[in-house]
Structure 1
Amino acid sequence: MPSVQREVSDRTFFGKLMKWLFIGFNIIMFLWMASSCAAVSDVSAGAVNDAERAGAAIGAGLGMTFLLFVWGIGDVILGMFVLFTRRKKIITVEE
């Protein structure tokens, strides 16, 4: 007699909320990174002398490093919430 195993797993409301917050945070951070890259390129293109170009490069590096740091810390925190709000898989055996 064959038996069928079926996995039943669904997130709670809080788990779904955390998952969508995680996805939304990543989208927002990507858009923020892309827009800051565009803004930095405009500033760098308008630099007149070497000091302005060096300042723009240093400022861009500091800004991108800060954004990557915030993105990474946010991903770790929200990712832990997403991981810990997973529901255990329930395996039902039907004969």
Structure 2
Amino acid sequence: MNSMNLKGTKLQLKVWNYLKKIPKGKVKTYLEVAKAIGKPKAFRAVANAVGKNPYPTKIPCHRVIRSDGSLGGYSGKGGIQQKRRLLRSEKVFIK
């Protein structure tokens, strides 16, 4: 589970490990991630965990968007514009 020597809370580790399973070219919402890890009411905590991703180039947090279909945030280098570029490179186009 901790192949990158990840350090975080139990929730963060669950979220980060789930993010690694989202296939290239697909997106999930924060709510979908929360439900998938068994914490359906914790979508805000999931969003915080996504934002604290220590390895945005290895753990694809750019594949998580808001329930309204908008991009949400991106804490990796390059910010929201980089998130948009990464998604476009995977043939995903978000408003």
Q: TM-score range by the shorter chain?
A: under 0.3
* TM-score normalised by length of structure 1: 0.23
Larger strand fraction of residues: 1
Larger radius of gyration: 1
More helix per residue: 1 or 2?
1
**TM-score, structure 2 as length reference:** 0.23
